[in-house]
Structure 1
Amino acid sequence: MERRLSALLVDDERLARVELRRLLAAHPDVEVVGEAEDVSGATRVLRARRPDVVFLDIHLAEASGFELLDEELGETAVVFVTALDAHAVRAFEVNALDYLLKPVSPARLARTVERLRSSLSGQLPSGERRLTLEDRVLVQEGARTELVRVSDVRCILAEDDYSRLVLTDGRELLVHESLKRWESRLPPRHFVRVHRSTVVNLEHVERMEREENDTFRLHLRGLAVPLTMSRRYAVRVKELLA
């Protein structure tokens, strides 16, 4: 039997802590071992209990939750919980395990608990975990860092050692990451390779048309030019779209 995971709740609003405790009660493998309303209180619990995870609000009454990261956290994972997503990029830059927006939904929290369990057991190394459509991923284009929702990616095109993310708002981001690595992280029932240099989000597929030379044209919503797809990949796409 797996051991229970210990959790610390840090929020300056008592009702917010009560609600998060209620949501965590649905996960018998997680035990709340302490609560705090500020950084100093959280520090005392961290040093005394060394919990597996701290659910941390960013906007505390007298300080930012980021100040807690100046403490020696050891192996304690951090999950930010906040009503605003303005600090999401910074949260991922400091290697937070996850980032939850209030009000926290039970389904989203369940994914966080699963991610926590996998991370602590060593099943999924940090930065290599499988993403979901609802997740956001940190990407860097040149000197600019941006947080992109996975569901907003229409397709990804390989360009040598780089990949071009085509987004639903019409923008394209050229990032230094291989198509193979994207394919290993993206949800396989939604993102599929249709060409040796192309991965598409099936949520954005409008239709596929067969050409005379045994290739296919794949039309994506919002994309003016259809993508080329071979018969080899078409079989898999048809299965997933059925």
Structure 2
Amino acid sequence: MKNPTALLIEDEALPRQRLREGLAELWPQLLVIGEAEDGDHGLALVLELRPDIVFVDIRLPGLDGLQMARRIKGLCHVVFVTAYDAHALTAFDQGAVDYLLKPLATERLRETVQRLQQRLQLPPAELARWLQQWAPPKLSPAPATPAAPLRWLQASQGERLHLVMVADVSHFRSDNKYTCAVTAEGEFLLRLSLRELLAQLDAEQFWQIHRAVVVNLAQVARVERRLGGMDVLLKDGHTRLPVSQSFQPRFRPM
């Protein structure tokens, strides 16, 4: 019968040394085949070396002990090494999961060794129930900070590339899969669709008034209603943009 094997995954050198020495004294047949100081390296060693037992600290750089144990459940027997109060860990006395409280006590380590020697005859237990019970509560992700609206556009006019200030654009017009930006200086072509552009504009300043047109409200002189429709007149005095029926309700309170 082959000797059992173990990995020690603990980021502090002194506790790791004491655990190694204690195991050598109490269980000489146990072969410590690897050590790691963080959860990521520890997980890699488990998958590479396939030990019978892993002693793992709960608090680790990278993957913590609980996260790591979730990934190796069923591959080996797991013993948690922790500084948590023993009263908070009574559930670990059930099933295949054991724990060692730091600083390590010889008699407690002896109990763990005896328990493991018995359980090596059985396949590693499913850890999910205990891990779920003792995992830290999931925090709601912080709301993503919205990206600042575009202030400048890189656009072409003929063969020349220009930087166009967004505030100078009176309106944008869809041009197949591209978009035309209209300013007092002329028209510029943007190599993105109107939908892609709209997502990057200030929604309070730029309103879509037609499936193919977005207008800069700062450039609007007035809104005129006509029989069967509505138009936006720009401050240049001559540009009139029709408002689609589906977008007209936005202007009614104005």
Q: Give TM-score scaled by structure 1 length.
A: 0.46
TM-score, normalising length: structure 2: 0.44
Q: Which has the larger radius of gyration?
A: 2
